[in-house]
A and B are shown apart, each in its own frame.
Chain A
Amino acid sequence: MPKEEIKKKQKTKLIALHSSNKTYEFSKPLEKKIKYMGKTVDVKLREDPDGFSYIVWKNKKYMLDIIEKNQNKYTIMINGVWHSFTVETPISLKRKKFLESQGEASSKVEITAPMPGKIIEILVENGSEVKEGEAVIILEAMKMQNEITSHVNGTVKNVNIRKSDTVMKDDVLVEIERS
């Protein structure tokens, strides 16, 4: 294939990369049509008078909403379930996959706060051995005490918080070196 054509082809595609690593390709220019099991199916994007956005697809309505958007990162809520994507071009996707394969060598795992709250108790310290499923932090949110557990086996490398600290969602609480 001549170079020009390859370039053209790459330019005419956008890919949604789902957090599960599944990809969804759409050709540009984008039309309100989706290729689905070998057929092209029309998609209708609508907004109803109440202010809900919805897609009509195969005669069914799907309520959907962008709940987070940051450059090419999207979180889309559809019928009450959210899905995270990054929108990539064929080139950026290739680069991303390459970088990820480089990154796998690193074995540090971060335990983050799943919700905003207050640190009630820290159950580990630097050097503690933890097992998958073991509680490392007690976090209080909405009047409930929640156990934050490690999702890997390993050694605690860093404790970033102190007792009674208030943390935001996604704050890194503890770093663990995978064993």
Chain B
Amino acid sequence: MKIKSILVANRGEIAIRIIRTAKKMNIRTYVIKTAKEPGAWYLEEADEIIDFTEDFSEIPEFLDIERIILAAKEKGVDAIHPGYGFLAENPTFAQRCEEEKIIFIGPSPDAIYRMGNKTIAKDLARNHKVPLLEGSKGNVKNADEAVEVAKSIGFPVILKAAAGGGGRGMRVVEREKDMERMFSLASNEAEKAFNNNAVFIEKFVREPRHIEFQILADKHGNIIHLGERECSIQRKHQKLLEESPSPVVDPELRKKMGEAAIRIAKSVDYYSAGTVEFLLDDNRDFYFMEMNTRIQVEHPVTELVTGIDLIEQMIRIAEGEKLPFKQADIKLKGWAIEFRINAEDVQSGFSPSLGTIEKISWPESENIRVDTGVRDGSVITPYFDSMIAKLIVYGDDRNKALQEASQAIRKFWIKGTKTTLAFCRAVLQNSNFRNGNFNTSFLSKELKIHYQFEPDEVLLAAFFAVYDYARDVEEQEEKSIDQRKSKNITPWLLNKRLR
């Protein structure tokens, strides 16, 4: 069935990204307006706005399954695209769409459920001969049980939220005595983030690389991979920079890992776009971590090196079309790097930086793509995550892409909030990063200072402060002279008039 209208159940840059492709395909788009950001840019990009500003629900707007389904039915939309986060990996939501005859632009509820349950996902990997990290058989109930498992597989271990993702509800435990505190942190965070406090334990691989494979599969059993993304530059398991291809993956390893990714996806009859995440250790052995059953934040780097519009493919697959290409057609060309620009104060431990984007501008070129949900005047609220833009650069090879990136970041100006741009500069300056020699411990071990500046800049900033101060003092002096003058004059005038 041809999809003629889509409700985008998301906000920010990904809503705009989905709408862009929908427009290209002549599909009518709907978005949800919330009281939390009623002036957001994504609202203007859609054809129609569904108003959720009257907040009668306890459930946050983008998590309110029944309200979204009801709105979709009232408007008679053909399909829902969930974007990432929120309901993107909620099997109940996909199921409810199916029941109400709304096309869910994503995989089947069953695939979401099985991949979302880390225990089932691991069993699938084991049964399909995909290497994985040992850990608890299912969830662990309490810290005592966690200690027992940890002792059997050996410290360090990592606690992970069973329903998790995005780094939340995750804690590395180095010693037995830390378990109790870490266990309660992980399960509290899991409860808050996913409404499910279940956690499980896994062996923790020290300093691995994080490599993931993009999968595309149709409803007719055709499945391919679109190569890897290198996502090792992370802070507390949150990705900050991604690239494709990876500096360490050669064609042979790509084939091996890609085939493993396909085996995993096939095991749940996967269709739509999806991502299989692996850890890669020093010996180039890889381990299955999880499968993300959605479009990912970092999908643009794959789009730039393959020339494939992943959102378009998701829509076509949802319509029941067959994949238009085979594995042999997929050639990675050039190099793409994505920088996540977050409204965070890198100089204060990446703490959130709220405020208003007074001005935002970036250099335009055929090698630069910017996906963003903010523009001049946009307000950064505490309600949603801190990512405000993604800068994606392209080059014929990694060096050219790095060169492009340095120039683009220098000219990427944001006024009104602190951002991670200074961090991006610091990463780009690092010689080990430039040489492709890094892993997930890059931030904690290799990059000593998380922001980069030149000594000249401090001098210029000092000059600017002094200049502004001197100007203020001058203005005040002038004012007080005027006042003194007026004081001298007024009584005289007054006297004269009185007389």
Interface residues of A (CB under 8 A from B): 14-16, 18, 22, 24, 26, 28, 30, 32, 34, 36, 43, 45, 50-52, 55, 57-58, 62-67, 69, 72, 74, 76-83, 85, 87, 114-116, 120, 123, 135, 138, 140-145, 147, 169
Contacts and interface: CB of A to CB of B under 8 A. Distances in A.
Contact of A74 (B168, B460, B469): B469
Contacts of B385: 142-143
A85 B453 contact: no
B462 A16 contact: yes
A57 B460 contact: yes
B202 to A, nearest CB: 20
Contacts of B457: 62, 78-79, 81, 83
A144 B385 CA distance: 10
Nearest to A24: B462
Contacts of B168: 143-144
B174 to A, nearest CB: 13
10 contacts: A24-B459, A58-B456, A67-B418, A69-B468, A76-B464, A83-B453, A85-B465, A87-B466, A116-B354, A145-B192
Given A64-B460, A78-B464, A115-B352, 12 more contacts: A14-B469, A15-B466, A18-B462, A51-B358, A67-B418, A72-B469, A78-B458, A83-B453, A141-B352, A142-B382, A142-B386, A143-B385
B467 A30 contact: yes
A121 to B, nearest CB: 8
B470 interface: yes
A52 B359 contact: yes
Chain B interface extent, by class: 35 or more
A55 B464 CA distance: 9
B348 A79 contact: no
B130 to A, nearest CB: 31
Contact of B458 (A18, A66, A80, A147): A18
A66 B464 CA distance: 9
A43 B463 contact: yes
B137 interface: no
B461 interface: yes
A81 B451 contact: yes
Interface of B: 168, 181, 185, 188-189, 192-193, 236, 347-349, 351-352, 354, 358-359, 361, 382, 385-386, 410, 413-416, 418-419, 421-422, 425, 451-453, 456-470
B199 to A, nearest CB: 13
Given A82-B418, A114-B351, A55 B188 contact: no
Contacts of A28: 470
A77 B418 contact: yes
Contact of A79 (B236, B349, B361, B453): B453
Contacts of A143: 168, 192-193, 385
Nearest to A29: B470
Contact of B465 (A22, A43, A76, A138): A76
A30 B470 contact: yes
A24 to B, nearest CB: 4
A57 to B, nearest CB: 6
A69 B464 CA distance: 12
Given A81-B453, A145-B189, A26 B466 contact: yes
A55 B358 CA distance: 18
Nearest to A73: B465
Contact of B462 (A57, A77, A85): A85
Nearest to B353: A115
Nearest to A139: B351
A35 B338 CA distance: 40
Given A26-B466, A140-B192, A114 B349 contact: yes
Which of A15, A116, A140, A144 is packed against the most chain B CB atoms within 10 Å? A144
Nearest to A64: B464
Nearest 8 A/B pairs, CB to CB: A16-B462, A24-B462, A115-B351, A74-B465, A80-B421, A80-B422, A76-B461, A87-B469
Contacts of B467: 26, 30, 32, 45
A43 B185 contact: no
A74 B236 CA distance: 31
Given A78-B453, A140-B192, A141-B352, A50 B425 contact: no
B422 A79 contact: yes
Contact of B347 (A51, A69, A82): A82
B460 A43 contact: yes
A62 B451 CA distance: 16
A85 B410 CA distance: 24
Given A78-B457, A81-B457, A24 B451 contact: no
B461 A85 contact: yes
A15 B467 CA distance: 11
Contacts of B469: 14, 72, 74, 87
A116 B359 contact: no
A81 B414 CA distance: 11
A74 B468 contact: yes
A78 B455 CA distance: 11
A79 B425 CA distance: 10
Contacts of B236: 144
A62 B460 CA distance: 9
Nearest to B354: A116
